[in-house]
């Protein structure tokens, strides 16, 4: 518990740097691009279009509301998760001079990757609002729970980001493995279709996927005007535990980073 | 209370590559389980880079760390800055640490000077408001105001370092760590840096100074430790530490071959400026005099004196001796000195070391040798590449084809070489 207080205190001390690194990455990401933040919206929009054609024309499924809104909502949340992780994986290995020459809490690298994606997430959330207006989807009081759902999503993403960044520093295989896992993971999550409808033993396994519960909760509070179910509560607890465990083990290993890069 | 405590510190390193891919992990884990090597011992590829080093630095104290390359000086500094963690021992730093090490490490080439000041400042632990308050002073100190809104990828390496030092210099640290500050920038800038160090020292800020520049250590520090092969060989007054370092740098073969102390010995080597000043900072194209002081316990027939100059990266820049120059010293007895006068030092900016030796009449067997014991720095406005300055000028004959026979004779033009260098580098898009 003391260790935990120590890492949090240190992170707080370096909060300015976290903000700086995040704005550095944002600046760099969209420097010399014409579309700028447009890219943050473009990807989920294209995916929404593709899946809308598939699931409203080819293999029609009923999701209980306009499919494009359903898909875009899921894709916005999923894109936040996957892009945060994609940037985190290489966040330590792509900054070798900082890792080997200067000291500051190394968590800043994966954390700023998550924050950068969170900014993109906020931008595409505006598009989601536009889409909902277009399809006359009116959110209810449950929208007040959105900050909580997003907080848990961020926590779970950050936990995974810490582990991946650390893993890739020691073993560069992680970067390649990640690309495969994230592709499979998306189709095992209720991003563009309700995966909860899968029954049997496979369904039971798929129900263990925290991202499904997080995205379901995200849709529930935004589109359905529903309070998230008990699965979300369990995911919340698990995410907190995972995040703390990931942070502590990252902290324990960070002194070896400079020697292993 | 000591500001810096370094107590019984050991640091273990691994030689060569470690397993970087998962494929190597499994065998490594298996062998680790099988061997069960104790955490304190050394495995095959491991060695101690720092062995049982202890020191303390109190407010107002300036500790110099000297020693040959690879002795563990930089490792000690990295342990102090928390980049590395000690294998054993206790390291304590009480207060905000300002490190004049890798001052431009956080710079991103695509960001402007201004953006990088804020970024690097935050990396060094400054709050945004603090940087904003000191921004003008930082830019002023660095001397790059004209280019502050230019991406730093277009900066010269000198400008980069100057901006970095300016940021680090404006951090108000409780403890200052410095690594080779005197090898960066031109004279004016170095003087500014030293003045800033003195100012902090005068305020009682404790200082740890790692350097090859022995004169600077003697001048600035109140105490010095000599580190060799990871251990402290000497701890005490800077002048004594430097003397001990020079004694240790005597070639062991030479001292073995000449065990009797009444042979000939080099007692001191001094590097002098044109005005006879003893500062170790020389200018490209300016004179340098190397004085070798000797003491001969008994007459030595026709020995030779040899001087070598090496770059800090080990490049052998020059080797000069009296034998090759047919300069006869005659019989040496008692005390005396031999001077090597270099009217124009043809070295480009950087750190160099001088080795001095006295050889026998055949110029083969060293009677005394102090290898790389006398460091000096060269500074200059010149920005040529390499380590040697070749005196030169340019000529350009245009219109040598037959198109305009009436105008073929164009007077050769001697260009200002400095501008031309910048022009070439500009065309290539390289960092100048």
> What are phi and psi for residue B297, nearest 5 degrees?
-70, -30
CA angle A110, B95, B89 (to 5 degrees): 80
pLDDT at B120 over 70: yes
Query: pLDDT-based confidence at B127, cuts 50/70/90?
Result: confident
- Residue B287 to residue B386: CA distance in whole angstroms: 20
What is the residue-averaged pLDDT of chain B? Answer: 79
CATH class of B4-243: alpha beta
8 Å CB contact of B83 and A14: no
Q: Taking Cα atoms as reference points, which of A242, A216, A239, A238 lies closest to residue A227?
A: A216
The CA distance from B91 to the nearest CA of chain A, in Å, is: 14
By C-alpha distance, the chain B residue nearest A261 is: B20
User: Rg of the Cα trace of chain A?
Assistant: 19
pLDDT for residue B229: 87
pLDDT at B361 over 70: yes
pLDDT for residue B419: 39
pLDDT for residue B251: 54
Find chain A residues with C-beta within 8 A of B111's C-beta. Answer: 24, 27-28
pLDDT for residue A236: 96
The CA distance from B4 to the nearest CA of chain A, in Å, is: 17
What is the residue whose two structure tokens read 């909060």?
A15
pLDDT at B170 over 50: yes
Query: For residue range B268-310, what is the model confidence (pLDDT) as tens digits?
Result: 888 888 888 777 788 888 899 999 999 888 888 889 999 999 8
8 Å CB contact of B81 and A103: yes
- Residue B72 to residue B49: CA distance in whole angstroms: 6
Across the interface, of B22, B108, B125, the residue whose CB is closest to A28 is: B108
8 Å CB contact of B23 and A102: no
8 Å CB contact of A98 and B123: yes
- Residue B361 to residue B368: CA distance in whole angstroms: 13
For residue A30, the tally of other CB atoms under 10 A from its CB is 16
8 Å CB contact of A104 and B123: yes
- Residue B337 to residue A112: CA distance in whole angstroms: 63
Interface test with B, best of A23, A93, A102, A255 (most B CBs within 10 A): A102
- Note the ipTM here: 0.81
| Residue A30 in contact with partner chain B when CB distance is under 8 A | no
pLDDT for residue A176: 94
The CA distance from A260 to the nearest CA of chain B, in Å, is: 8
Across the interface, of B14, B83, B128, the residue whose CB is closest to A16 is: B128
Query: For residue range B362-379, what is the model confidence (pLDDT) as tens digits?
Result: 887 888 888 777 888 888
Contact B194, B226 (CB under 8 A): no
Q: Taking Cα atoms as reference points, which of B68, B74, B75, B89 lies closest to residue B13?
A: B75
Q: Which of B27-41, B257-271, B278-292 has the lowest mean pLDDT?
A: B27-41
DSSP category for residue B14: E
pLDDT for residue B258: 46
Find chain B residues with C-beta within 8 A of A255's C-beta. Answer: 82, 84-85
Q: Taking Cα atoms as reference points, which of B111, B168, B123, B81 lies closest to residue A112?
A: B123
- Residue B1 to residue B94: CA distance in whole angstroms: 9
Find chain B residues with C-beta within 8 A of A19's C-beta. Answer: 122
- Residue B93 to residue B82: CA distance in whole angstroms: 10
8 Å CB contact of A20 and B125: no
pLDDT for residue A43: 83
Q: Note which residues in 163-192 of chain A have CB less than 8 A from chain B.
A: 170-173
- Residue B9 to residue B5: CA distance in whole angstroms: 10
| Residue A135 backbone zone (phi > 0: left; psi -120 to 50: alpha; other: beta) | alpha
- Residue B418 to residue B345: CA distance in whole angstroms: 18
Query: pLDDT-based confidence at B424, cuts 50/70/90?
Result: very low
Across the interface, of A24, A101, A260, the residue whose CB is closest to B111 is: A24
pLDDT at B103 over 50: yes
Task: Render each residue's pLDDT in chain A as its tens digit; 261 residues.
Answer: 788 888 898 888 888 899 989 998 888 887 777 777 788 888 888 989 999 999 988 888 888 888 999 999 999 999 999 999 999 999 999 888 888 888 888 999 999 999 999 999 999 999 999 999 999 888 888 999 999 999 999 999 999 999 999 999 988 899 999 999 999 999 999 998 998 888 889 999 999 999 999 999 999 999 988 899 899 999 999 999 999 999 999 998 887 888 877
pLDDT for residue B214: 78
Per-residue pLDDT, averaged over B407-420, amounts to 44
Give the orientation angle of helix A2-13 with respect to helix A230-253, to 10 degrees: 80
Of chain B, the percentage scoring pLDDT greater than 90 comes to: 17
pLDDT for residue B418: 41
- Residue B31 to residue B24: CA distance in whole angstroms: 11
Interface test with A, best of B106, B116, B161 (most A CBs within 10 A): B106
Architecture of the domain made up of B251-379? Distorted Sandwich (2.70)
Across the interface, of A27, A102, A255, the residue whose CB is closest to B102 is: A102
Q: Higher model confidence: residue B230 or residue B181? A: B230
Query: pLDDT-based confidence at B99, cuts 50/70/90?
Result: confident
- Residue A76 to residue B30: CA distance in whole angstroms: 44
Across the interface, of B20, B123, B126, the residue whose CB is closest to A102 is: B123
- Domain coordinates in residue numbering, chain B: 4-243, 251-379, 392-432
8 Å CB contact of A260 and B111: no
Q: Higher model confidence: residue B169 or residue B112? A: B112
Query: For residue range B202-216, what is the model confidence (pLDDT) as tens digits?
Result: 888 899 988 877 777
Element (H, E) at B236: strand B231-236
> What are phi and psi for residue B33, nearest 5 degrees?
-65, -40
Query: For residue range A148-189, what is the model confidence (pLDDT) as tens digits?
Result: 999 999 999 999 999 999 999 988 899 999 999 999 999 999
pLDDT for residue B405: 52
Find chain B residues with C-beta within 8 A of A10's C-beta. Answer: none
| Residue A31 in contact with partner chain B when CB distance is under 8 A | yes
pLDDT for residue B37: 47
pLDDT for residue B338: 93
- Domain coordinates in residue numbering, chain A: 2-260
8 Å CB contact of B13 and A20: no
8 Å CB contact of B18 and A260: yes
CB pairs under 8 A between A and B: 72
Strand partners, B133: none
pLDDT at B413 over 50: no
Query: For residue range B71-98, what is the model confidence (pLDDT) as tens digits?
Result: 888 889 888 888 888 888 999 988 888 8
Torsion angle, alpha carbons of B98, B101, B102, B106, to 10: -10
């Amino acid at each position: 518990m003391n260790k935990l207080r120590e890492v949090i205190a240190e992170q707080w001390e370096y909060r300015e740097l976290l903000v700086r690194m995040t704005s550095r990455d944002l600046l760099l990401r969209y420097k010399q691009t014409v579309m700028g933040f447009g890219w943050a919206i473009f990807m989920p929009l294209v995916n929404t279009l593709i899946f809308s054609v598939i699931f409203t024309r080819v293999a029609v499924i009923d999701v209980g509301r306009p499919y494009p809104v359903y898909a875009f909502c899921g894709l916005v949340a999923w894109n936040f998760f996957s892009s945060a992780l994609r940037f985190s994986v290489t966040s330590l290995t792509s900054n070798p001079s900082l890792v080997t020459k200067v000291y500051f809490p190394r968590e800043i690298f994966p954390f700023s990757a998550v924050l950068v994606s969170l900014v993109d997430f906020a931008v595409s959330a505006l598009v989601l609002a536009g889409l909902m207006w277009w399809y006359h989807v009116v959110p209810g009081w449950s929208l007040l729970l959105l900050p909580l759902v997003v907080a848990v999503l961020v926590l779970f993403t950050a936990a995974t980001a810490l582990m991946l960044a650390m893993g890739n520093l020691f073993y560069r295989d992680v970067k390649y493995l990640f690309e495969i896992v994230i592709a499979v993971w998306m189709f095992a999550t209720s991003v563009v279709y309700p995966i909860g409808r899968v029954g049997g033993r496979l369904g039971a396994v798929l129900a263990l996927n925290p991202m499904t519960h997080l995205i379901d909760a995200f849709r529930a509070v935004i589109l359905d005007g529903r309070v998230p179910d008990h699965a979300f509560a369990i995911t919340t607890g698990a995410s907190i535990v995972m995040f703390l465990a990931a942070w502590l083990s990252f902290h324990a290993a960070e002194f070896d980073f400079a020697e292993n890069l | 209370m000591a500001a810096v405590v370094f107590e019984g510190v050991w640091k273990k390193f691994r030689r060569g590559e470690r397993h970087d891919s998962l494929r190597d992990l499994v065998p490594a884990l298996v062998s680790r389980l099988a061997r069960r090597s104790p955490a304190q011992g050394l495995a095959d590829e491991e060695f101690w880079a720092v062995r049982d080093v202890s020191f303390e630095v109190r407010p107002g104290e300036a500790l110099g760390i000297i020693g040959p390359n690879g002795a563990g000086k930089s490792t000690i500094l990295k342990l102090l800055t928390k980049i590395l963690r000690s294998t054993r021992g206790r390291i304590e730093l009480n207060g905000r640490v300002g490190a004049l090490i890798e001052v431009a490490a956080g710079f991103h080439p695509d960001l402007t000077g201004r953006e990088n000041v804020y970024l690097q400042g935050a990396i060094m632990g400054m709050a945004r408001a603090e940087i904003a308050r000191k921004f003008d002073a930082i830019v002023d100190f660095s001397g790059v105001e004209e280019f502050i809104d230019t991406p730093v990828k277009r900066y010269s390496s000198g400008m980069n370092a100057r901006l970095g030092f300016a940021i680090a210099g404006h951090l108000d640290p409780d403890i200052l760590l410095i690594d080779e500050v005197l090898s960066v920038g031109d004279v004016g800038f170095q003087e500014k840096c030293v003045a800033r160090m003195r100012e902090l020292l005068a305020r009682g800020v404790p200082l740890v100074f790692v350097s090859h520049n022995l004169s600077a250590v003697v001048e600035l520090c109140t105490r010095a430790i000599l580190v060799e092969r990871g251990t402290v060989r000497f701890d005490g007054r800077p002048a004594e530490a430097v003397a001990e370092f020079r004694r240790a740098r005597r070639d062991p073969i030479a001292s073995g071959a000449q065990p009797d102390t009444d042979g000939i010995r080099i007692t001191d080597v001094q590097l002098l400026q044109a005005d006879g000043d003893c500062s170790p900072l020389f200018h490209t194209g300016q004179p340098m005099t190397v004085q070798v002081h000797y003491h001969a316990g008994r007459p030595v027939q026709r020995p030779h004196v040899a001087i070598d100059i090496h770059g800090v990266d080990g490049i052998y820049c020059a080797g000069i001796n009296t034998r090759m120059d047919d300069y006869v010293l005659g019989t040496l007895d008692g005390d005396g000195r031999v001077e090597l006068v270099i009217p124009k030092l043809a070295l480009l900016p950087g750190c160099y070391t001088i080795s001095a030796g006295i050889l026998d009449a055949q110029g083969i067997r060293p009677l005394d040798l102090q290898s790389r014991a006398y460091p000096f720095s060269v500074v200059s406005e010149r920005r040529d590449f390499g380590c040697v300055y070749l005196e030169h000028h340019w000529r350009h004959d245009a219109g040598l084809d037959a198109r305009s026979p009436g105008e073929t004779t164009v007077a050769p033009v001697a260009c200002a070489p400095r501008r031309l260098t910048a022009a070439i580098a500009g065309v290539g898009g390289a960092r100048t």
